[in-house]
Amino acid sequence: MWKSLTGAAAAMIVCGAATAQSAPVKVVEGDLPGEAEFEALAGLEELEDRDVVLLDLDMLPLAWPGVTDSDGNFTTPQTCEFGMIEGVDEVSVPTGSNHLLMNVHLGDPQDHAANGLSCEYSPVSGGEAPQDWARMRLTGCYLVRSVSIPTARQLILSPLPASACGLHD
């Protein structure tokens, strides 16, 4: 039966799928670590499989993420230079809960302009030296994949273009 579809009929099916209603965008913003010890931000806990999320997380030094660069090297930064952090492929976000793991793939900056990890000035962080007054900020538009693993749930966020979250590309 499928083999008998003409090119025009197949095109109508594809076009019909492309014009389907898009899912609402969830917005998750907040500080890590959160207010409650050993608990993830409520917005992170509420993310479900196939959600589209506009993310804006501020991470103080106690909750700085692990980062993987494009060569596959993993590190947990101890300091950061103010500005965008270049060459980051994946970010392992410390959610605050041992039962919620989160990995964020940033994507190519040219195709995913809203997505990024930056080092920003934060006088609330304190410390004696100016580099101690930093926080990392993870932002962007992502598609959520929720995976059940023993005793926990893992959120894997894949990059979407800014327009998927209602932002301009």
Burial class (CB in 10 A: 0-12, 13-18, 19+), 95: buried
Say what the pLDDT of residue 21 is: 52
Say what the pLDDT of residue 6 is: 37
String of DSSP letters for 63-108: GPPEEEETT--EE--SS--SEE-TTEEEEEE--S-TTEEEEEE---
Say what the pLDDT of residue 52 is: 98
Token pair listed for 141: 């538009």
Q: How far apart are CA 10 and CA 21, in angstroms?
A: 20
Say what the pLDDT of residue 3 is: 39
3-state secondary structure of 10: helix
Q: How far apart are CA 108 and CA 49, in angstroms?
A: 23
* Cβ-based neighbours of 100, under 8 Å, separated by 6 or more: 40, 44, 45, 152, 153, 154, 155
Token pair listed for 57: 């997380």
Say what the pLDDT of residue 125 is: 57
Do 159 and 105 contact (CB within 8 A), yes or no? yes
Note the Cα 106 to chain centre separation in Å.
7
- Peptide bond connecting 33 to the previous residue in cis, omega within 30 degrees of 0: yes
- For residue 1, what are the CA distances in angstroms to 4, 14, 17, 83? 5, 17, 20, 56
Length of the chain: 169
3-state secondary structure of 128: coil
Q: What is the pLDDT tens value at each position of the chain, 169 positions in all?
A: 333 333 333 333 333 334 345 679 999 999 888 777 777 888 999 999 999 999 999 998 888 899 999 899 999 887 788 899 999 999 999 998 989 999 999 999 999 999 999 999 877 656 666 556 788 999 999 999 999 989 999 999 999 999 999 997 5
Say what the pLDDT of residue 33 is: 83
